Structure 1
Amino acid sequence: MPRYLTMLRIDENNAPEGGPSAELMQRMGQLIEEMTKAGVLLDTAGLTGAAEGTRVRWNGGEMTVTDGPFTESKEVVGGYAIIQAKDKAEALEWTKRFLRTHEREWDITSEVREIAEG
């Protein structure tokens, strides 16, 4: 079965004050448990903020290392999940269910991409 990476993109400047609510964390936990029992969820985690990140770039034969925050970034990857599904349609359904656990004030984009095998 194919594996998919879902990258959750958020605008850190417009995320709800205080981060995820207790209710959101509970709904998310229930869905994660369901996905794990179904054998779909292989790994998932939230990421620290961009201010704590470091970018390493190779360009023109030179290496640059830049510590966050990155002022030119509007959206950042705030979390990820690796899921195994029968096809992309199923991966998208699980992703939609995850996004629906969030309250209305959240503005999240999830990019779903198949992991290239071999």
Structure 2
Amino acid sequence: MRVMVIVKATRQSEAGEMPSTELLEAMGKFNEELVKAGVMLAGEGLHPSSRGKRVRFSGSNRTVVDGPFAATNELIAGFWLWQVKSMDEAVEWVRRCPNPMEGDSEIEIRRVFEADDFGEAFTPELREQEERLRAEIDSKSGNPG
């Protein structure tokens, strides 16, 4: 199963404070372990919300809102996409992770929907479209699929 591992923002990450060399080295080592184990599919850090935008939807209306956004503890500072056997395995990997921030921090783990999770609503035609789009994405990104 795939999971998204979400590194929650802190006051420091939202202020644009960059991690120390030591933290970057520790995270690099951890990422190497994830890659060697075949767990890590993707992972990136995100700029502070002050450099972001939100688009609010209300029926056919779209409203663009500039950052920064309130409720820092609900914002995302970075993420990984992992392939694991179970949620327990994902938790064990996160337990081994260096603290991603200089102070207190939090990491959230969320399961990614798979085609079978949608049941009969995900028709054979929609499955075919999904597979075609994934193949196209893989070919454009250089992934073997």
TM-score, scaled relative to structure 1: 0.85
Q: Which residue of 2 aligns with 1:73?
A: 71
Cross-structure match for 2:134: none
**Cα deviation, residue 38, structure 1:** 0.7
Deviation at 1:104, TM superposition (A): 8.1
Unaligned runs of 5+ in 1: none
1:109 corresponds to which of 100, 106, 110: 106
Decide which structure has greater strand share. 1
Cα distance, 1:111 vs structure 2: 1.2
- Say whether the 8 Å CA contact 1:8–1:77 is kept in structure 2: yes
- Secondary structure of 1:24 counterpart: helix
Q: Is the 8 A contact 2:6 2:76 kept in 1?
A: yes
- Which structure has more relative contact order (CA 8 Å, sep 6+)? It is 1
Q: Deviations over 1:54-112 (max 9, x none)?
A: 00110244211001112x222220000000111000011111222xx128842221110
Alignment of 1:24-63 (within 5 A): 24-63=23-62
SS in structure 2 of the partner of residue 26 of structure 1: helix
Gapped regions of structure 2 (runs ≥ 5): 116-145
- For 2:85, give the aligned amino acid: K
Identity, % of aligned positions: 35
More helix by share: 2
- Structure 1 contact 10–107 (Cα < 8 Å) conserved: no
The two structures, once aligned, show a CA RMSD in angstroms of 2.1
TM-score normalised by structure 2 residue count: 0.70
Matched residue pairs, number?
113
Q: Distance in 1 between matches of 2:101 and 2:5?
A: 20
Distance 2:101 2:113 in 1: 34
